Amino acid sequence: MRRLGRTYRHLKRYRKIAQVLLKYGFGELVDQLGLTSYLPMSHRLMRREVAERPPLTTPERIRLAIEELGPTFVKLGQIMSTRPDIIPPAYIAELEKLQDAVPPDPWTVVQKKIEEELGSPVNELFASFNPEPLAAASLAQVYQATLPGGEKVVVKVQRPDIEKTIEADLDIFFDLARLLQERTPLGEIYDLPEIAEDFAFTLRAEMDYRREGHNAERFRRNFASEKYLYIPQVYWDYTTQRVIVFEHISGIKIDDVEALEAAGFDRHQIALNCARMIIKEILVDGFFHADPHPGNFVVMDGEIIGAMDFGLVGQLSSQLKEDLVHLFIAATQLNSEKVVQQLIHMSAAQRGVDRERLRRDIDRLLIKYQGLPLKEIRAQEVVSEVIPIAYRHQLRLPSELWLLGKTLNMMQGVGLKLAPDFDIFAVSQPYVEQFVRQMTSPRVWGQKIAKGADEWGELFMVLPRRIPRLLEQVEEGDLEVTLKLKEMGSALHKLDRIANRLAVSILVAAFIVGLALLLPTFIDNQAVWILIPAGFAFISASILGLWLLYSIWRAGRR
């Protein structure tokens, strides 16, 4: 049996994981992953008592276990909540409840971290620094300070030693993913090591604050000519991989309707600005804020929206934007067959998908919204109904699209809270029409034709060199063609079993016939000493023959 890697290096962490899984009733999974040996002897002897818990659903127990296992697992759960192609709907709903607020580290520890990163004492770097954190999450803490020039800033500091914890947990993730791939039915459906690799990439990117700073700068450039959105400045002289300093922006939290009303803000205009922001991000820039919960947006004077926290972003290629628009058009036309074709074109539907069943499921979804005004369609409701279809048919849409769906869901929720009659589709319609015109413009088609011509040109340039070599291999007999047929290994194995059974049948029959012919000779010669073993051999061969007949009959029934 395969052992978990890095056993001694992560012994305490494996023990903690095994104990938490057992605590929340996942003892079978502990056994399946080979984690039982990491449990203390008292837990092994009293497993039933330890595993007893109040009646909770499986998704609830998973969420509680994740929260107890700490920041890496919380981040994993949050990322998994954006993957309904992998996680069932009931689990998605529970993972979205994961809390990312933890008690702050002491100021002395954080101060030391800032000084190590920036190379100078805090009182020399800043004119003032409030040691009470504005916020404390699993990976970082945020403080308010003032620069020597008088600029008010917020300082985001990575928790000390969190990198070691994250890297240790990622090592364990890779080990557990490989074991789940080998030992559970999930491995037959998903590439779990690849999913673990994607998660590790996302988490490591979020922990590099230089990347977050560049994300903010890109948003500043994209919205430089737009007055309804404000992106704070990054102070690069105070920014490293583990510390980032932003311009401090203040305002009213975007979903605090009472405070907005009291301040005299136009709620409909704020909702309109939210919609314009997200539509521009998707259809124009292909670069969007993927964590748009209300805490990351404030309303400033003039209904200007101030954005914060740029660690998690999504990107849409030109091709993906085109695919989205094609899906949108097919859906508005209630053309389920075209939707299925587009999903296959995007490689979202696998080769073995039941196309007719998928078409029926999509048809039911489209018919439900047939005739409804767009302003009455809620993104949250649509996404919640798409999720079971995606999971049932294992649709592998790019992770950016699931992030986008969650983003649209959040933003429409904020818009409806601000202005219940707000119609985000009406706002998006001109942008969609403009994008469709761009897709069909001669310039775009010219670029596609030029790209295709370039690829064909490369092929024709290569062919004259490759064909003579191919012909030489044919003449010399060095050319080999390998043909792999689906299920060939299984078919050959069955043929091998049939041949073996046939050979055994012939040998048993020959043995029985031979003994039957020899027995009269033994009896006539009165060779009693050989008659007993010969009779025993005859009876054994007969039993073996009957067993062979029974096995053939049973195989035929199966």
DSSP string of 243-300, one letter each residue:
EEEEE----EETT-HHHHHHTT--HHHHHHHHHHHHHIIIIIISEEES---GGGEEEE
Whole-number pLDDT of residue 272? 86
Q: pLDDT truncated to tens, each residue of the chain (558 aa)? A: 444 444 556 788 888 888 888 888 888 887 777 777 767 655 554 554 444 555 788 888 999 998 888 888 888 888 777 776 677 778 888 888 886 667 888 999 999 999 999 999 999 999 999 999 998 888 899 999 999 999 999 999 999 888 888 888 888 888 888 888 887 777 666 778 888 888 888 888 888 999 999 999 999 999 999 999 999 999 999 999 999 999 999 999 988 889 999 999 998 888 888 888 888 888 888 898 888 777 789 999 989 999 998 988 888 888 888 887 777 777 767 788 888 888 877 777 766 778 888 888 888 887 777 666 555 666 666 766 777 787 777 777 777 776 777 677 667 677 777 877 766 667 777 777 776 676 666 665 555 566 556 665 666 666 676 677 777 777 676 666 665 555 556 666 666 667 666 766 676 677 666 666 666 665 555 555 566 666 666 677 777 777 767 666 666 555
Q: Hey, which residues are catalytic here? A: 291
Whole-number pLDDT of residue 118? 94
Q: CB–CB of 403/290 below 8 Å?
A: yes
To 10 degrees, what angle do helices 58-69 and 71-80 make? 140
Whole-number pLDDT of residue 1? 41
- Dihedral, CA atoms, 383, 385, 386, 387, nearest 10 degrees? 90
Q: CB–CB of 171/10 below 8 Å?
A: yes
To 10 degrees, what angle do helices 424-439 and 318-332 make? 120
In eight-state DSSP terms, residue 349 is: S
Whole-number pLDDT of residue 322? 81
CA dist list (Å): 4 to 18, 38, 214, 437? 13, 11, 38, 55
Cα-Cα-Cα-Cα dihedral sign, residues 552, 553, 556, 557: negative
Q: CB–CB of 198/399 below 8 Å?
A: yes
Q: Where are the domains of the chain?
A: 11-100+165-204, 106-159+208-248, 257-440, 499-557
Distance CA 135, CA 102 (A): 9
Whole-number pLDDT of residue 349? 72
Whole-number pLDDT of residue 485? 56
Q: What pTM was estimated for this model as a whole?
A: 0.68
The CATH number of the structural domain formed by 106-159+208-248 is 3.30.200.20
